[in-house]
Chains A and B, each alone.
Chain A
């Protein structure tokens, strides 16, 4: 039974106390979570600070001739030794002649690295067109054709074929029974007891593929697919054949993803946890990219859908990717985040939409990585903004400096050890945060929100440059603030895409890298 006075608006001590009593826990919890939000930005802020901006006067003078020689070498090695099944892998050799491969090093991220390689080769193709260099263009198309074949098999093997009637699951890697005998290193896929490896579908039932495909894989795959379709627009039979295959693949991705509500599907048929829909008013780039590719390749089917998602589903407002927390948690998220954002920015030509996408890009993911001495990210930034050579000189010089550093200890792309870290690099003191989350009452309460933060690892206060970092299948996926191991293995060669992707994007898309000479 509630008894209250009829005059409702009368304030009295009881009412006031009740209101304060109800608001106090709300305000308390609100301030706790507000503080957590602040810490999310503050703890990794050493990685976004303006003080990280490099001094261009310290950069190596670029030698375009040398860079072109290196690119030619890497590309030859890539085509000869790093796409045995038409997707990107490392290779182990028997001796330093590097002409007898003992085993290929499958990374289980075949779709991602192949997509990154494709971005570089599309840049090479564009460079060939811009510079009037038919050989360059032919070289690029030859490799692009192989990469497209490999990427098409990444769709065909798990789903049973190519076409919009099939699903959109992308394989991390695949191999046929013939490959098992001829391609050393792919035998891991034929382990029947591993939860991750499955038989193919339909005509590919005797093939094997690696499942539980993450958004990393889809990100690189979509980027390769989209850039290749958009920019390979010549009329030669080869170019038309490539575009035709890409169009079918894009239709399959769009149709499959729409039917599955943009969920990743495992080899068992259930959801994998991968979800490419917008969540929490961010992450809308994925859906937009898939549908933009569809709108380009099949406007009659997907154009209306694309614009529905852009405007009515409000995805244009929320194509915001990543936050500063990845500096201390999952740095690789920046890599595939940049892939999807770059692809969308390059595919969209409408000035209003492009400006909005660029704004979101600058405010979110770019603001977190702009000073990370990453030529791949920097070249994407320059290309996406449609800068002419000279418009953003600092970033151009940064890209050139880092590419030149490959010549120190990453040419060829084997494990040659790393240069020592200079004395002006210091380790960031994260112990106080560790202590806070373990010992203080508020810290313990909010610590589950920071589980992914690696506060116990050494972290430098500045990003390492190329010469201080060990090579890997793709260097830009790793955290530049973590100390690098001094691994030496002169017989294991990586595909060189760490160099060729930013090089060809800069030369073909941006145009500020010349073929010979130096910067005048």
Chain B
């Protein structure tokens, strides 16, 4: 079936589904059909009220129907130079959270006061268990769903190869779009990545407290041999709520949010988008953006046969399991400390969970590149495009031919740290120090246990310090391109597959750290100092609280 027929079939399908849903929802609303029991009752000042959720279901059906109809009735196919932007993962996360809150409201009710057989929260005869299980998800979920309603946009790329040679990016969104015209000969670099998490890590702060407390209380109810009656239902509800929130958190952190950054002249152009369909996904590459109407086959772009720019010395992407492994270790340590009430106190435990999640996400997005995959380098008229891909996540860098050879360096250097890396280092170190101080000061010899706890805490500081040193110094071979006050770099591997034997790895490991220390000694020392200064600051803060 050729493409136009397939498109027609698709439109007819949308039309059919949309019509059925719209008609069904309208009929359900007009007929007043109600699903018995799909309601909550609550009391306000002694009067009992009831709200049935069938109307919510009707509205959802109506919206789904209208969306399908609008897709069926759109006038034209997606133009070849357009990327459709819509944060589907955020909508999914928001939807799951809203469904969780509705289910929780139906199961637990929202009333307060004594006599609730399922239990109450926060104080005796207090709030229904809807609040701990679903208040945060409800607020976040509805906010995400409403936010997504305003996120749809289309991004057009246009190249006018006249004098001047302009790359035009048009971002069409409600209420107002934006146009950027960029002179191609002023472009110093273009980077495109969907492996950057950035401010999305703040979602961890929103979800981590309810997730941890719900898991702890939930498993307390489920695993307590003395549990009976409603304990099991409550425990299951708590665990489900925590799991849904954890899943949504991971959805939000791991989603494929693209960031396009173009350095041109004295400006930085930044476009963020999430491809909403397969075609848009395939078009999310620098080659397409530079030559948006290059051919009917969107995967191919006009290439140049030669370039003065270097290909990476060894065309392998490095694979690194350290951050994922250490992230998992931190989370396991936090869990074990809570299960056995040993070592990490609550504040340090939360920091372990936060650090663990950050390291796992960073590791999945940045480090777990499939071994053996090449760093693709494509010569185009504008410059060289370097692409590093692994499944869902990719990073691309375009360096123009006009860059001076003196601005290109090949070296071994400590890993470039982002803000979250500093959060992990200083946060963990601070809370380790904060906890160590009372262990030393409060638990004297009379307690019979002070020395033992102090020893374990000090060992933990050194142990975690060593692990953080491993992942935050982590020397890498990089190809660096300097543009004035900025630089871009490609991390690459300097070995081939046959060199992956343990002895070679160990020698290479030591050699790299030696080179990094010799060439970037100040940076390495600064990272070590950052950790230990944070430990000391933690102890000082603890002393202030103790003495204060």
CB atoms of A314 and B347 under 8 A apart: yes
Known: A5-B267, A303-B449, A308-B342. A195 touches B439 (CB 8 A): no
CB atoms of B439 and A268 under 8 A apart: no
B101 on interface, CB distance cutoff 8 Å:
no
Minimum distance in angstroms from B418 CB to a CB of chain A: 16
B268 on interface, CB distance cutoff 8 Å:
yes
Known: A270-B117, A270-B119, A305-B341. A4 touches B268 (CB 8 A): yes
A59 on interface, CB distance cutoff 8 Å:
no
CB atoms of A2 and B124 under 8 A apart: no
Interface segment, one of A14-22, A349-357, A421-429, A432-440:
A349-357
List B113-148 residues whose CB lies under 8 Å from chain A: 114-127, 129
Chain B, 413-442, contact with A by CB distance < 8 Å: what is the 0/1 string?
A: 000000000000000000000110011011
Known: A1-B180, A6-B485, A268-B230. A310 touches B443 (CB 8 A): yes
Interface segment, one of B34-42, B218-226, B299-307:
B218-226
**For residue B342, which residues in chain A have a CB less than 8 angstroms away from its CB?**
308
CB atoms of A195 and B114 under 8 A apart: yes
CB atoms of A270 and B230 under 8 A apart: yes
B447's nearest neighbour on chain A, judged by CB, is A307
**For residue A264, which residues in chain B have a CB less than 8 angstroms away from its CB?**
124
**For residue A195, which residues in chain B have a CB less than 8 angstroms away from its CB?**
114-115, 117
CB atoms of A261 and B270 under 8 A apart: no
**For residue A6, which residues in chain B have a CB less than 8 angstroms away from its CB?**
263, 266-268, 484-486
CB atoms of B439 and A311 under 8 A apart: yes
| Residue among B119, B180, B271 making CB contact with A272, cutoff 8 Å | B119
Known: A1-B169, A3-B268. A311 touches B438 (CB 8 A): yes
A409 on interface, CB distance cutoff 8 Å:
no
A255's nearest neighbour on chain B, judged by CB, is B226
A345 on interface, CB distance cutoff 8 Å:
no
B229 on interface, CB distance cutoff 8 Å:
yes
List A416-461 residues whose CB lies under 8 Å from chain B: none
B233's nearest neighbour on chain A, judged by CB, is A270
CB atoms of B122 and A275 under 8 A apart: yes
CA distance A312 to B484 in the complex (A): 49
Minimum distance in angstroms from B395 CB to a CB of chain A: 20
Minimum distance in angstroms from A147 CB to a CB of chain B: 24
**For residue A123, which residues in chain B have a CB less than 8 angstroms away from its CB?**
none
A131 on interface, CB distance cutoff 8 Å:
no
CB atoms of A273 and B124 under 8 A apart: yes
CB atoms of B270 and A312 under 8 A apart: no
CB atoms of B216 and A273 under 8 A apart: no
Known: A165-B225, A269-B231, A350-B447. A316 touches B118 (CB 8 A): no
CB atoms of B442 and A311 under 8 A apart: yes
CB atoms of A1 and B263 under 8 A apart: no
Chain A, 169-203, contact with B by CB distance < 8 Å: what is the 0/1 string?
A: 00000000000000000000000000110000000
B132's nearest neighbour on chain A, judged by CB, is A271
**For residue B345, which residues in chain A have a CB less than 8 angstroms away from its CB?**
312-314
Task: Tally B residues with Cβ within 8 Å of A.
Answer: 71
A386 on interface, CB distance cutoff 8 Å:
no
CB atoms of A317 and B225 under 8 A apart: no
Minimum distance in angstroms from A359 CB to a CB of chain B: 9
A274's nearest neighbour on chain B, judged by CB, is B124
CA distance A272 to B448 in the complex (A): 37
Chain A, 244-272, contact with B by CB distance < 8 Å: what is the 0/1 string?
A: 00000000000010111101111111111
Known: A1-B269, A6-B267, A356-B546. A269 touches B124 (CB 8 A): no
A515 on interface, CB distance cutoff 8 Å:
no
Minimum distance in angstroms from A478 CB to a CB of chain B: 19
Known: A311-B453, A312-B345. A350 touches B444 (CB 8 A): yes
CA distance A6 to B116 in the complex (A): 60
CA distance A165 to B232 in the complex (A): 18
**For residue A310, which residues in chain B have a CB less than 8 angstroms away from its CB?**
438, 442-443
B434's nearest neighbour on chain A, judged by CB, is A314
Chain A, 314-331, contact with B by CB distance < 8 Å: what is the 0/1 string?
A: 101100000000000000
B171 on interface, CB distance cutoff 8 Å:
yes
CA distance A261 to B232 in the complex (A): 15
CA distance A116 to B178 in the complex (A): 73
CA distance A230 to B233 in the complex (A): 40
CA distance A313 to B342 in the complex (A): 9
A214 on interface, CB distance cutoff 8 Å:
yes
Minimum distance in angstroms from A271 CB to a CB of chain B: 4
Minimum distance in angstroms from A276 CB to a CB of chain B: 12
Known: A270-B129, A273-B120, A352-B444. A167 touches B226 (CB 8 A): yes
A506 on interface, CB distance cutoff 8 Å:
no
B500 on interface, CB distance cutoff 8 Å:
no
CA distance A163 to B224 in the complex (A): 15
CB atoms of B217 and A263 under 8 A apart: yes
Max chain B CB contacts within 10 Å: which of A256, A259, A356?
A259
Known: A1-B180, A3-B180. A259 touches B119 (CB 8 A): no
A212 on interface, CB distance cutoff 8 Å:
yes
CB atoms of B267 and A4 under 8 A apart: yes
B441's nearest neighbour on chain A, judged by CB, is A352
CB atoms of B229 and A268 under 8 A apart: yes
CB atoms of A5 and B266 under 8 A apart: yes
B227 on interface, CB distance cutoff 8 Å:
yes
CB atoms of A1 and B171 under 8 A apart: yes
CB atoms of A271 and B129 under 8 A apart: yes
| Residue among B119, B179, B484 making CB contact with A268, cutoff 8 Å | B119
CB atoms of B443 and A307 under 8 A apart: yes
**For residue B120, which residues in chain A have a CB less than 8 angstroms away from its CB?**
270-273
A299's nearest neighbour on chain B, judged by CB, is B448
CA distance A264 to B119 in the complex (A): 10
| Residue among B126, B227, B434, B546 making CB contact with A273, cutoff 8 Å | B126
List A186-229 residues whose CB lies under 8 Å from chain B: 195-196, 212, 214-215
**For residue B179, which residues in chain A have a CB less than 8 angstroms away from its CB?**
1
CA distance A268 to B444 in the complex (A): 44
CA distance A261 to B227 in the complex (A): 12
CA distance A359 to B100 in the complex (A): 45
A261's nearest neighbour on chain B, judged by CB, is B220
CB atoms of B266 and A7 under 8 A apart: yes
B435's nearest neighbour on chain A, judged by CB, is A312
CA distance A7 to B178 in the complex (A): 22
CA distance A344 to B146 in the complex (A): 51
B388 on interface, CB distance cutoff 8 Å:
no
| Residue among A7, A165, A270, A316 making CB contact with B234, cutoff 8 Å | A270
A267's nearest neighbour on chain B, judged by CB, is B229
| Residue among A265, A272, A273, A350 making CB contact with B446, cutoff 8 Å | A350
CA distance A259 to B223 in the complex (A): 8
Minimum distance in angstroms from B210 CB to a CB of chain A: 14
B545 on interface, CB distance cutoff 8 Å:
yes
CA distance A214 to B225 in the complex (A): 23
CB atoms of B226 and A256 under 8 A apart: yes
A271's nearest neighbour on chain B, judged by CB, is B119
**For residue B444, which residues in chain A have a CB less than 8 angstroms away from its CB?**
350, 352
- In the complex, 6 of the A-B residue pairs with CB atoms within 8 angstroms, ordered by the A residue number, are A6-B268, A259-B224, A260-B226, A265-B231, A268-B229, A311-B443
Chain B residues engaging chain A, CB cutoff 8 angstroms: 114-127, 129, 169, 171, 178-180, 216-217, 220-221, 224-234, 263, 266-272, 341-348, 434-435, 438-439, 441-444, 446-450, 453, 457, 484-486, 545-546
Chain A residues engaging chain B, CB cutoff 8 angstroms: 1-7, 159, 165-167, 195-196, 212, 214-215, 256, 258-261, 263-275, 303-305, 307-314, 316-317, 350, 352-353, 356
Contacts beyond the supplied A166-B226, A259-B224, A260-B220: 6 A-B pairs with Cβ under 8 Å: A5-B266, A212-B114, A212-B125, A271-B129, A273-B125, A307-B450
Closest 7 CB pairs of A and B: A270-B119, A269-B229, A167-B226, A273-B120, A270-B230, A269-B231, A273-B126
